[in-house]
Amino acid sequence: MSNIDKGGGGREADTTMRARAAEQTLAHALAHTRERELDCDELLLHVADYLDSGIDDEELEELVEQHLSICPDCREAVEILRRALGRTE
């Protein structure tokens, strides 16, 4: 068997592993999808209230927390703001 043949199998295995990882990521996202969700822009409209005193609307607060649980970019932004304001969870 030539090196080319060996390398081809490795690439196929790598592609299969990446496809499985993408499939798992998609399955996780779908499992955590709700009928109503906030997008990143909507979250930013409510982040000050969320960090200050909480959100009076229980459903909205749940939507904010749900978005933060699935969006690493927003979660990071909120953590940066939290630290800048000297607040802990």
16-74 pLDDT tens trace: 999 999 898 878 777 766 678 899 999 999 998 888 878 888 989 899 999 999 899 99
Q: Do 16 and 53 fall into the same domain?
A: no
Question: Is the same domain home to 39 and 65?
Answer: yes
Domain span at residue 10 reads 1-31
Q: Verify that 60 and 86 share a domain, yes or no.
A: yes
pLDDT of residue 53: 76
d(CA 89, CA 53): 12
- pLDDT of residue 87 exceeding 80, the answer is no
Total domain count, the chain: 2
At 3 the pLDDT is 45
Answer yes or no: pTM beyond 0.85. Answer: no
Q: Calculate the alpha carbon distances from 46 to 32, 53, 63, 88 in Å.
A: 21, 11, 10, 18
Q: What is the pLDDT of residue 13?
A: 86
